[in-house]
């Protein structure tokens, strides 16, 4: 393997090992919570409150159905527009052009590019 490729593989292995340790520690903490009666009682109370909250949200959703639909449409429009903007920015970056966005308060924004790994196949 090339030095860069080997370093990437080593870092990936380090991340996987840290994730495993984190998982183990999280289970220890979870068990400690589950062994406390007061915690269990509180969790049951929270579950009841969540059910009541859900009932209220459902009622409001029916009362404001058109507003909820409008919000969902806007979410979709925003997501689609962001994707188009992202594609345009990639094209400009590939041409080595500078990109800078300025909002209504004169805040400047620059592209932030990050590469992640996706499982092959």
Beta bridge pairs of residue 101:
109
Are 57 and 77 in the same domain? no
Q: Are 39 and 29 in contact (CB under 8 A)?
A: no
Are 57 and 71 in the same domain? no
**Number of domains the chain contains:** 2
Are 71 and 59 in the same domain? no
Whole-structure pTM value: 0.60
Q: Which structural domain range is residue 116 located in?
A: 67-121
- 1-10, 55-64, 77-86: range with lowest mean pLDDT: 1-10
Calculate mean pLDDT across residues 3-19.
93
The last residue of a domain, from among 63, 96, 112: 63
The last residue of a domain, from among 63, 81, 104: 63
Q: Is the pLDDT of residue 1 over 80?
A: no
Which tens digit of pLDDT belongs to each residue from 38-51? 999 999 999 999 99
Are 51 and 88 in the same domain? no
Closest by CA position to 111, among listed 71, 82, 70: 82
Beta bridge pairs of residue 6:
none
């Amino acid at each position: 393997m090339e030095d860069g490729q080997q370093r990437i593989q080593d870092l990936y292995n380090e991340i996987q090992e840290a994730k495993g340790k984190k998982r183990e520690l999280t289970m220890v903490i979870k068990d400690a919570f589950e062994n406390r009666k007061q915690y269990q009682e509180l969790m049951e109370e929270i579950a009841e409150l969540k059910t009541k909250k859900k009932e209220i949200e459902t009622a409001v959703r029916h009362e404001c159905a058109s507003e909820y639909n409008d919000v969902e449409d806007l979410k979709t429009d925003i997501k689609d527009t962001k994707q188009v903007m992202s594609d345009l920015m990639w094209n400009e970056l590939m041409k080595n052009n500078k990109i800078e966005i300025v909002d209504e308060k004169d805040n400047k924004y620059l592209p932030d590019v990050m590469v992640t790994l996706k499982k092959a196949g």
